[in-house]
Every structure is written in C-alpha cells, then in structure tokens.
Amino acid sequence: MKKKQTTWYIFTNDSYTNEVISRELPEENAYNEVLCSDKIRRMLWQCDDSFVIKMDKNKEQKNLDFTVFKKDGKDGDIKEVAQKFYPVAKISKPKEARAYKAGKDMGLSLIETIHLLYQNNTAKNYISGLVDVLIIERNKRISTEK
C-alpha cells in the first residue's frame, strides 16, 4: 500500500512570527483564506516537514508563536497538529545511534552513554551524538504516548 503524502502548513499567531517565516519561505507558499477542518479560514504557509522541525527547534529561542497544520493525501482535511505529533528529525548518524543502544544494553544511564560518546569521539562527533541521543529519547517518548 502506498503511503499518503503529508502536506505541512504553519499558521502564524502574531505579526513577528509571520515576518520571520516570510523571510524563510517564498511568497507563493503563502495561502490566504484556507478552510481548515474546524471550519475556520486561515492564512497558512505551506512548508515541508524539515521546516516544521526547524521552526519547532527555534520556537522558544526566537520567541515564535505558531500553530502547525497538516493535510494527509491530496484531498484530506487540513487539521491542527498537536506538538507531540510534529515530524521529528531522522537519525543520520547510525554509529552514534548504535553507541546509544549499546550503552542502554549495558545498563548505562543517558548521561553515562553521552559521556562514553564524548570519550570515544572528537568534539564534533560528540555534539552530533548528543543530538542523536536526544532525538532517540524524543522518538521513544512519542511512540509510548501513542
């Protein structure tokens, strides 16, 4: 069975956030008066999942106020998405992911596993490994909440 394509949208809740997004996305990604599943028309910015991940990551640091919406398939309804169901970054460093799993298998805590990554890698790999470990923890938390 073919997986449905998901289209992501961001609704800005203030003018500052709208300005930030307008500098990041092309004007043709802005859609006015889009009817959402709750029967409210909104101005939405269409984006891909990586942009949603980036915006979520910078939300507090840059004081951004927005709501994420998505549409499943070509003719699906546009629905608001709770933050726990936002897309998550893919793990791109299998080596660090394996190190994390090995640490868990050895009964190491998250901190001990991160320390192990730091001891066995360069500083650059340590940061990358730390990010991957945090992503794994977030994905695990999300999957247990479903």
The contacts found for 85-90 with CB under 8 angstroms, 24 or more apart, are: 85/142, 86/52, 86/53, 86/56, 87/8, 87/49, 87/50, 87/52, 87/53, 88/53, 88/135, 88/138, 88/139, 88/142, 89/50, 89/53, 89/135
Q: Are residues 122 and 140 in the same domain?
A: yes
The per-residue pLDDT for range 4-52, each reduced to its tens digit, is 788 999 999 999 999 999 999 999 999 999 999 999 999 999 999 889 9
In a domain? residue 60? yes
Q: Are residues 63 and 107 in the same domain?
A: no
Contacts (Cβ under 8 Å, ≥6 apart) of 71: 6, 7, 9, 77, 78, 79
Q: What pTM did the predictor assign?
A: 0.59
pLDDT band at 141 (very low <50, low <70, confident <90, very high): confident
Q: Are residues 72 and 10 in the same domain?
A: yes
Number of domains in the chain: 2
Q: Which domain holds residue 109?
A: 94-145
In a domain? residue 18? yes
Q: Are residues 69 and 116 in the same domain?
A: no
Q: Are residues 121 and 69 in the same domain?
A: no
Q: Are residues 49 and 98 in the same domain?
A: no
Range list of H helices, the chain: 15-24, 49-58, 94-105, 110-120, 123-145
The per-residue pLDDT for range 80-123, each reduced to its tens digit, is 988 776 776 654 555 556 666 666 666 666 666 666 666 665 44
In a domain? residue 1? no
